[in-house]
């Protein structure tokens, strides 16, 4: 490694300086971590330290001792909306617009069919669903089924093509805020405005943005949104997803999955369905209490943390990683698929590499955990709450050595 420019030019020294000035460094102690550099939080977040004790209490005391009384005495019944209100500030939503429960896929189905029904209240002739052609596969599967169910034509296009295909036939548009493969951040404000200008309903998938960057659901007038909680929100494997329904749309939101839990009188056992008021009509069946209350405990790591500070660190981490990759990895060995521009970047870096699967296996053996996406993508997720700049430097150095740089400068 070249010494020209002095010690401050060395990535390892720079990492120590950045860690020393990191205002979020103390949050790391709120997680259960080891010596592994964990850069897969965009797939499954690390375990918050408060969760094991809370789950034990839920199982031993709330379930084991209070039993059915916990629906009232332990607040089980109100958990979906209570935890939704806890998530709300992280995605720029006011209280009373988010309900937690079911999987991301189920919530996308509810949102997309509900969006078509909303659009047709104003224009029954709207018969087209526009979907992000680069989306996570499940979103596409759900959109296909929703189109078939509602008698719509499905129109897959890239997010950049969306404004040009919108028209008076468009009922709903389903888009990902951040591309799961490349980490590209799409322009939610501009695309939402374009959808509204066409008289359609905007549905956003926030799985790779919630907890990593400001979303601004209320500010930008998003109609409906869905997100998971096991990535940057660190809710645990299979933790429940959430559904956002903008306040002024709630009275007209017609869920395709009406269940007893979303009934205006859930214990009335009436044969006819009457939806509850507000976001509660997004509920379906009995909440998954164990994983839901684990999520509630996990969200405590956000106490005193602003999304803006997380975004600032996310950009600094990904900038530094790209800088270290340029320093350590042999020239031409990898290609970044993640945009360099901050306004187009989420909180991950995706590198194209010819033998990506094997490379990731070797990195994991060295204690650097990212993930591999077929056929040739190395994916590294940066969760600012627990990833430090020293982790970033170590990961890039391990990547360089794995790819044959021997730890030295790459060109």
Catalytic residue IDs: 136, 205, 230-231, 379
Backbone angles phi, psi at 85, to 5 degrees: -65, -25
Measure the CA–CA gap between 99 and 226, rounded to whole angstroms.
10
292 near 87, Cβ under 8 Å?
Answer: no
Measure the CA–CA gap between 147 and 101, rounded to whole angstroms.
23
Backbone angles phi, psi at 111, to 5 degrees: -65, -45
Q: For residue 56, what are its two tokens?
A: 């034990």
Residue with token string 């599967």: 141
From residue 360, how far is each of 181, 322, 355, 368 by CA, in Å? 15, 17, 9, 9
At 348 the three-state DSSP class reads: strand
Q: For residue 238, what are its two tokens?
A: 């299979």
At 163 the three-state DSSP class reads: helix
Measure the CA–CA gap between 276 and 263, rounded to whole angstroms.
5
User: Which residues are paired to 144 by β-bridges?
Assistant: none
Strands 128-132 and 377-381: unpaired
SS3 content of the chain, % helix, strand, coil (to 5): 45, 15, 40
Which are the contacts of 398, defined by CB distance < 8 A and separation ≥ 6? Answer: 37, 363, 366, 367, 368
Measure the CA–CA gap between 344 and 367, rounded to whole angstroms.
29
Question: For residue 35, is it left (φ>0), alpha (ψ between -120 and 50) or beta?
Answer: alpha
Backbone angles phi, psi at 185, to 5 degrees: -95, 120
At 192 the three-state DSSP class reads: helix
Q: Report DSSP letters for 204-228, one per residue.
A: EE-TTTTTTS---TTTTT--EEEE-
328 near 363, Cβ under 8 Å?
Answer: no
């Amino acid at each position: 490694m070249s010494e020209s420019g002095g010690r401050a030019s060395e990535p390892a020294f720079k990492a120590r300086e950045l860690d020393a000035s990191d205002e979020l460094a103390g949050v790391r102690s709120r997680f259960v971590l080891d010596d592994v550099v964990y850069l897969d939080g965009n797939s499954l977040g690390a375990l918050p330290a408060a969760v094991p004790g809370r789950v034990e209490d839920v199982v031993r005391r709330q379930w084991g001792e209070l039993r059915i009384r916990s629906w009232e005495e332990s607040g089980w019944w109100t958990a979906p909306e209570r935890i939704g209100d806890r998530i709300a500030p992280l995605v720029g939503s006011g209280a009373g617009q988010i309900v937690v429960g079911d999987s991301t896929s189920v919530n996308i189905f509810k949102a997309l069919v509900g969006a078509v029904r909303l659009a047709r209240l104003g224009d029954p002739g709207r018969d087209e669903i526009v979907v992000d052609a680069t989306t996570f596969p499940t979103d596409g599967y759900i959109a296909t089924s929703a189109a078939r169910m509602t008698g719509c034509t499905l129109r897959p296009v890239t997010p950049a093509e969306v404004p040009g295909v919108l028209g008076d036939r468009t009922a709903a548009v389903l888009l990902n805020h951040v591309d799961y493969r490349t980490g590209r951040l799409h322009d939610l404000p501009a695309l939402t405005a374009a959808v509204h200008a066409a008289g359609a309903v905007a549905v956003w998938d926030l799985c790779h943005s919630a907890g990593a960057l400001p979303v601004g659901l209320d500010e930008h007038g998003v109609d409906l949104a869905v997100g998971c909680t096991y990535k940057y929100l660190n809710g645990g494997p299979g933790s429940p997803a959430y559904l956002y329904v903008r306040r002024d749309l709630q009275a007209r939101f017609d869920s395709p999955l009406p269940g007893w839990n979303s009934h205006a009188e859930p214990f009335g056992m009436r044969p006819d369905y009457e939806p509850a008021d507000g976001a509660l009509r997004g509920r379906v069946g009995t909440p998954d209490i164990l994983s839901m209350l684990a999520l509630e405990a996990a969200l405590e790591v956000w106490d005193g943390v602003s999304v803006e500070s997380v975004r600032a660190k996310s950009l600094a981490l990904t900038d530094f990683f790209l800088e270290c990759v340029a320093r350590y990895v042999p020239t031409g060995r990898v290609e970044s698929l993640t945009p360099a521009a901050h306004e187009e970047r989420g909180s991950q870096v995706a590198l194209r590499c010819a033998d990506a699967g094997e490379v990731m296996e070797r990195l994991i053996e060295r204690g650097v955990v990212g993930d591999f996406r077929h056929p040739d993508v190395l994916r590294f997720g940066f969760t600012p709450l627990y990833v430090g700049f020293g982790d970033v430097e170590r990961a890039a150095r391990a990547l360089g050595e794995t790819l044959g740089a021997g730890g030295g400068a790459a060109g």
